[in-house]
């Protein structure tokens, strides 16, 4: 949440202001008391508005929202005994947002083998139709795209 206090401007020796600072002062205490997480931006009278700060906050807020609605796939479990690379899913979800789905290579292989060959061929042709070319054989494309389609 963003709490932004506009500063106003001076006209003919008088400050013209919508009393935003008075409003933000009252709101800030209430929001803090209720445990809201927010950023407080305030402008000084006769100073430029803090547009760049507001835009920066908006970009971060958008990234946070996207993370909260995203999923991450993790293949395997403590590969090569690297237990320090593991995570605790509930804490990760609470702190950074994404749902982390764990699956094994065997699961991917089994799903990939169950995909109809026509679907794999159609996917390869669609990709090639979009201008993606390479030296990889159709057989190699098939294996990779079969695994991609399986998720």
Domain ranges of the chain: 2-68, 71-150
List, in sequence order, the alpha helices (H) in 69-104: 89-96
pLDDT at position 137:
53
- Name the pTM for this structure: 0.54
Residue 115 backbone phi and psi in degrees, to 5: -85, 135
Structure tokens at 123: 């996917």
State pLDDT tens for residues 40-52.
998 888 888 889 9
Which residues 6+ apart lie within 8 Å of 12 measured at CB? none
What are the pLDDT digits (tens) for 26-36?
Answer: 889 999 999 99
Give the chain's largest Cα–Cα span.
79
pLDDT above 80: residue 113: yes
3-state secondary structure (DSSP) of residue 72: strand
For residue 141, pLDDT beyond 60: no
């Amino acid at each position: 949440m963003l709490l932004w206090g506009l500063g106003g401007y001076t006209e003919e020796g008088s400050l013209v202001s919508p009393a935003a600072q008075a409003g933000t002062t009252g709101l800030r205490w209430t929001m803090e008391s209720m445990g809201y997480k927010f950023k407080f931006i305030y402008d000084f009278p006769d100073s430029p508005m803090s547009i760049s700060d507001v835009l920066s906050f908006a970009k971060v807020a958008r990234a946070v929202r996207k993370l909260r609605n995203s999923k991450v796939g993790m293949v395997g479990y403590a590969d090569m005994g690297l237990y320090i690379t593991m995570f605790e899913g509930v804490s990760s979800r609470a702190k950074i947002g994404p749902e982390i789905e764990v699956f094994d290579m065997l699961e991917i292989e089994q799903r990939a083998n169950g995909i109809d060959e026509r679907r794999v061929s159609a996917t390869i042709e669609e990709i090639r139709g979009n201008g993606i070319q390479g030296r990889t054989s159709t057989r190699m494309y098939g294996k990779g795209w079969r695994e991609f389609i399986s998720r």
